[in-house]
Each structure stands twice: as structure tokens, then as C-alpha cells.
Structure 1
Amino acid sequence: MGDAGETIEEKIVGYLHDVVEDSQITITDLSEHGFSDAILNAVDAITRRKSESWRKYIRRVGDHSIATKVKINDLKHNSDLSRIISPGEADLSRQRKYQEAIANLLEKQLFH
């Protein structure tokens, strides 16, 4: 997803966007490897908390401009049904969920 970013920060966050969420790597680890505060804040903003609802997560992502742009790219990619040979109802439902999240993020970005 990094290639979808327009700026170097968006590209870096795009590459790192699942790292903290899906591995043992922490924001502190990234900091120790020299990533800037802007990158660290964006990665933190796009990292979903374990007890966080989807709606709360999307609202929180929408509070950070870089995280918002990266998440929109991620959701567009993940809602592309052409990646699935025979999409079923679960895929269509997920696509609707992601499209709603994209609309919410775009609206927040527009009026923020």
C-alpha cells in the first residue's frame, strides 16, 4: 500500500500501516529505528486498538491527515472485488462497510 501514497510520509506509513497492529513491533521500536514523530503519530493513528469498535477506529483515523489518506488507499485496495475469484455475500458486505468508511473519511477530510 505504500506505493499508493502521494508523499514520502504517506508511502512510509502505507508500508508500515499493519506492522504495529499485526506484529510484536511497537511504536517505541519504530522510534528507536529513527522514524520521525510525523511517521510515528500517523502509524499510531492508523493502528486499531484491540478493544476499539470499527466506527470509533475510523473516527480516530479521520483525526489525522496522513493516517486518513493511507487508510483510504488501504480501504480502496481491500474493497476491490476483482481480487476475489468468486465474491460472496461476506465479500460484498465487507465492501459496503469499507465504502462507508471511505465516505466518512473523505467527508471528515473535506470539512476538517
Structure 2
Amino acid sequence: MGEALHKHDVFQAIADPTRRKLLHLLGDGELPVTALSDQFPMSRTAVSKHLRILAEAGLVKDRKVGRETRYRLDAEPLRELKRWLAYFEQYWDNKLAALKLYVESDD
């Protein structure tokens, strides 16, 4: 799994709440699959499948340490998501400004 195959894009990968939690856990540093699977009410095999999707999207990297596979976050692909969302900030900012004006008005 070492090198990402990019079968899934970042948007597909983060669509699942389990995968988002995995990314959050890996944000604190490299972890073995056993430590990750302890955080979920599912089998290690199910967690491994989620990790494979994240790896295929380039969001996690893995490496073998003895018999153990350890995973780490690779946040670089999230920059694509950040750029995409940045475009829509103008709409959020406009709506928030309009809401502020409405709430602060005397009408």
C-alpha cells in the first residue's frame, strides 16, 4: 500500500465519518493499525479497509516496522480541498454579513 494509487479522490475519502476520525487520530502522529482499531467499534479488518481508501487518496502513508504496519497522515492532498472550499467562503462571508446587519437592525 506504501505508494498511493489514487483510486479515490480526497472528497470521497473524507466523506465517511470513520475516515475523518482516522485522519484526526493520525494528526497527532504515526500509529499502528492496532492502536487505531482500538478507537472504533469495528474489526481491525474494517479499519484497515478505511485506511486503504485513505491511502488510495494519498491522505495516509504506511510503513512496515517489523510485523507491524504504521500509518501517518499526509495532509498535502487536503490542500486541494482547502482551495476548493476557499472559493465558497465569499458566499458564507456575504451571508454572515447580511445576517449581522439584520440582527443589529432596529426593524
TM-score, normalised to structure 1, is 0.31
TM-score, normalised to structure 2, is 0.32
Structure with the higher fraction of residues in helix conformation: 1
Structure with the higher fraction of residues in strand conformation: 2
Quick one: higher RCO (CA 8 Å, sep 6+), 1 or 2? 2
